[in-house]
Homo-oligomer: A and B are copies of this chain.
Amino acid sequence: MMTSSSSSNSFRLGVDGGGTHTRAALTDAAADAQGNVLAEGHAEAANLVRVGLPAAINNIQRAVNEACDKLNINAERITSACFGLAGVGNAKHHAAMLAALQNVFPHVALRLETDARIALAGATDLQPGVVIIAGTGSISCGINRAGKFARAGGWGPVMGDEGSGSYIGRRALEAVVMAFDQRGAPTSMTAEVLRQFGVTAAPELPPVIYDASPEERQLIQQKISQLSRVAVQCAQAGDWVATQILQAASLELARAACAVITQLDLNHTRFPVAYVGGVFEAGELMIAPLRAEIQRVAPQAELGAPLYSPMVGAVKLAQQTL
């Protein structure tokens, strides 16, 4: 007979599922708001648009099972859960994912949110405020004292994601070919961008980028997104073109955050604006223009790091469910 390593009878689950990773956290269902995470589990992507619904559900189950295994409990002892998943921002995807989750976790009071919503919950610890998320994609969202939620951005790489890693990487690539054409200023990004694509001159880039098979296309997109690191390194070393790209990205993120602030009528109040995501590893290069622009429309806004992770945000929202 199995004996549980936990003395608790029931558990609360928070899941953060993005385009590359899924994280699951379990807390004691009886714990207060500061309840510690008892166990975590990890798996690959849970974005149904990217990997398809079956793979997304499979990865979610794997992350949850790993967390349960660590506590030596059965998943049936989870009583409430919040799933914060990329790709469920529209009604059709939300409905499909919710039905699939209910099927897999039939005994759980469950709540399905976007990955942005749980990042907000974690970043502000459920208090009114705004979050700016800039990883591969970008989005800003917030909530005010009246509980009104608003968002801007997050429309994906074709029509949105301004200021994100893929936006910065694409701009870096454009800057390299513009410099080659003498349409734009020379940039120190050239050598590293060419190296990343395994070519020695700009005219060799088009076959690498456009002849990719459907399977390779995802990899090419990732490579372009990762060029954002090249832009950051070159900007930090003083490259003017790279600095301009990061400044433009920063202003696009500010534009989204300001739209959220104005939609929520927060302009004349004091509230936190948290920044989340790999793009902010650039530090003040990204953050300084963002802060200046946000404080122009909301002078009492306080830009800072998030209080808790999106995964903990999900646990906190799961608690709100009951």
Residues of A within 8 A of B (CB): 49, 89-93, 151-153, 155-156, 158-160, 162, 170, 173-174, 176-177, 181-183, 203-207, 209-211, 214, 224, 255-256, 258-259, 262-263
Contact = CB atoms under 8 A, between A and B. Distances in A.
A207 B156 CA distance: 10
Nearest to A217: B214
B224 A183 contact: no
A204 B151 contact: no
Contacts of A151: 181
Contacts of A162: 174
Contacts of A89: 203, 206
29 contacts: A49-B206, A49-B207, A49-B211, A89-B206, A90-B204, A91-B203, A91-B204, A92-B204, A93-B207, A151-B181, A152-B183, A153-B183, A155-B174, A155-B177, A156-B210, A158-B170, A159-B170, A159-B174, A159-B177, A159-B205, A160-B177, A162-B174, A182-B259, A182-B263, A183-B255, A183-B256, A183-B258, A183-B259, A214-B214
B205 A155 contact: yes
Contacts of A255: 183
A174 B210 CA distance: 23
Nearest to A171: B159
A181 B259 contact: yes
A89 B207 CA distance: 10
A127 to B, nearest CB: 23
Contacts of A176: 159
B173 A206 contact: no
A177 B174 CA distance: 23
Contact of A90 (B181, B182, B203, B259): B203
A257 to B, nearest CB: 10
A183 to B, nearest CB: 4
Given A89-B203, A158-B209, A183-B256, 14 more contacts: A90-B203, A90-B204, A91-B203, A91-B204, A92-B204, A152-B182, A155-B177, A156-B206, A159-B170, A160-B174, A182-B259, A183-B255, A183-B259, A214-B214
